[in-house]
A = this chain, B = another copy of it.
Amino acid sequence: MTGSSGKRLYVALIHHPVIDKNGETIASAVTNLDLHDIARVCLTYGVSGYYVITPLKDQMVLVNRILDHWATGVGGTYNPNRQQALELVRVKATVAEMVSEIAETDGLQPKTVATTAKRHAGSLSYRRLREMSADATPLVLAFGTAWGLSDTFMAAADYILDPLAGAGTYNHLSVRSAVSIILDRVLGGWT
A interface residues, Cβ below 8 angstroms from B: 3-6, 21, 33, 36-37, 40-41, 43-46, 79, 81-82, 84-85, 125-127, 162, 164-168, 170-174, 176-178, 180-181, 184-185, 187-191
Contact = CB atoms under 8 A, between A and B. Distances in A.
A36 B175 CA distance: 12
Contact of A167 (B44, B125, B166, B190): B44
A110 B105 CA distance: 52
Contacts of A191: 125-127, 162
B176 A176 contact: yes
B43 A177 contact: no
A36 B173 CA distance: 9
Contact of A177 (B37, B46, B79, B127): B37
A190 B43 contact: no
Contacts of A21: 79
Given A85-B170, A165-B189, 9 more contacts: A6-B167, A41-B177, A44-B167, A44-B168, A176-B180, A180-B180, A181-B184, A181-B188, A184-B184
B172 A81 contact: yes
Given A168-B46, A180-B180, A41 B190 contact: no
A46 B79 CA distance: 35
6 contacts: A43-B166, A44-B167, A45-B166, A81-B170, A167-B187, A181-B188
A3 B176 contact: no
A125 to B, nearest CB: 5
